[in-house]
Amino acid sequence: MNITGKHIVITGATAGIGESSARILAEQGAQLTLLCRNLDKGAAVARAIVAAGGSEPTLVAMDMASLASVREAAQAVLEQKRPVNILLNNAGVVNTSRKITVDGFEETLAVNHFAPFVLTGMLLPALLEAPGARIVNVASAAHEFVRDMGFDDMHAEQSFKTFREYGRSKLANILFTRSLAERLQGQPITVNCLHPGAVSTSLGAQNKGLAARILPLLLKPFFRSADKGAETSIYLCTSDEVSDVSGAYFANCKQKQPKPWGRDDAAAKRLWAYTEESTGFTYP
């Protein structure tokens, strides 16, 4: 698909895989809206894109740990009054201790699942104005660390485990993708998700402690670069091969089966209802 002049909205474009994705999509001629927690970092990314010959991105402030901020950002995108051809839900967080958002949610679940759920729902009208629109959700093979969503302790009140909470939030991305694809059946829009590989980025770098600082250095030789990590995101945003594919999970630019709990439609349905109730946002 030629993306020259196409409007692409990206979350988490201020670091890692999202920053690479934004740069590569801009190089291919896309017009970007970057939803950024840190507008200074967003401005630096925008300057680099313009310096490389890309169109100047629009910057919108959004802290995904606050649903009010997510709603405001979505509203600001809608107020641009232009169709959204692609929504790339890329931003994510890994925490080594339990944190609670201003809304009272466990932060990993809130940032990685609740925020893109609401953002996507609010942007649906603008996506539906662009025939052939695509929603791309950056999930993870980390869903393999868990076996279910843990509906009895969604906010890790009983106990908090870094990889379990992160894995569940990424499982939520996969289940959300399945449910949304089903709901959008018959409409000119697709939604897919992906694992970007193990990528050397700043993911988890905000955590304190020696292990949090040393682990990335030890793992770095085994990890791929952010540009390489962006490949499957770019593929799902641009390739003609996937124009008619929806509700699927990809890794290394190939469709792959997620683990069985990533194909559990009853869990996907339950998660959808739980998320609508928790966020107070009901899909149109």
Residues labelled catalytic: 166
d(CA 191, CA 133): 9
Span near ligand NAP by CB under 6 A; candidates 71-79, 176-184, 192-200, 245-253:
192-200
Span near ligand NAP by CB under 6 A; candidates 122-130, 154-162, 197-205, 238-246:
197-205
CB 22 within 8 A of CB 13: yes
d(CA 185, CA 187): 6
**199 binds ligand NAP per the rule CB under 6 A:** yes
Q: How many CB atoms lie within 10 A of CB 267?
A: 19
Q: Which of residues 44-73 bind ligand NAP (CB under 6 A)?
A: 62-65
The terminus-to-terminus CA distance of the chain in angstroms comes to 28
Quote the distance between the C-alpha of residue 258 and its chain's center.
Answer: 17
Burial class (CB in 10 A: 0-12, 13-18, 19+), 183: middle
CB 41 within 8 A of CB 63: no
Among 86, 111, 156, 174, binds ligand NAP (CB under 6 A): 111
| Residue with Cβ nearer ligand NAP (188 or 213) | 213
Among 31, 33, 90, 177, binds ligand NAP (CB under 6 A): 90
| Residue with Cβ nearer ligand NAP (151 or 163) | 163
> Which residue carries 């740069």 as its tokens?
23
d(CA 80, CA 76): 7
Among 3, 15, 124, 175, binds ligand NAP (CB under 6 A): 15
CB 3 within 8 A of CB 24: no
Q: How many CB atoms lie within 10 A of CB 149?
A: 23
Span near ligand NAP by CB under 6 A; candidates 36-44, 46-54, 183-191, 247-255:
36-44
| Residue with Cβ nearer ligand NAP (17 or 129) | 17
d(CA 36, CA 13): 7
Q: Give residue 186's identity as a one-letter amino acid code.
A: G
**38 binds ligand NAP per the rule CB under 6 A:** yes
Span near ligand NAP by CB under 6 A; candidates 33-41, 209-217, 252-260, 273-281:
33-41
Q: Which of residues 113-152 bind ligand NAP (CB under 6 A)?
A: 138, 140
Among 6, 7, 23, 37, binds ligand NAP (CB under 6 A): 37
| Residue with Cβ nearer ligand NAP (20 or 179) | 20
Kindly state the smallest distance separating residue 187's Cβ from ligand NAP, in Å. 25
d(CA 193, CA 214): 30
Name the nearest CA neighbour of 73 among 10, 164, 135: 10
**41 binds ligand NAP per the rule CB under 6 A:** yes
| Residue with Cβ nearer ligand NAP (41 or 269) | 41
Residues of this chain that interact with ligand NAP (CB under 6 A) are 12, 14-18, 37-38, 41, 62-65, 90-93, 111, 138, 140, 195-196, 198-199, 201-203
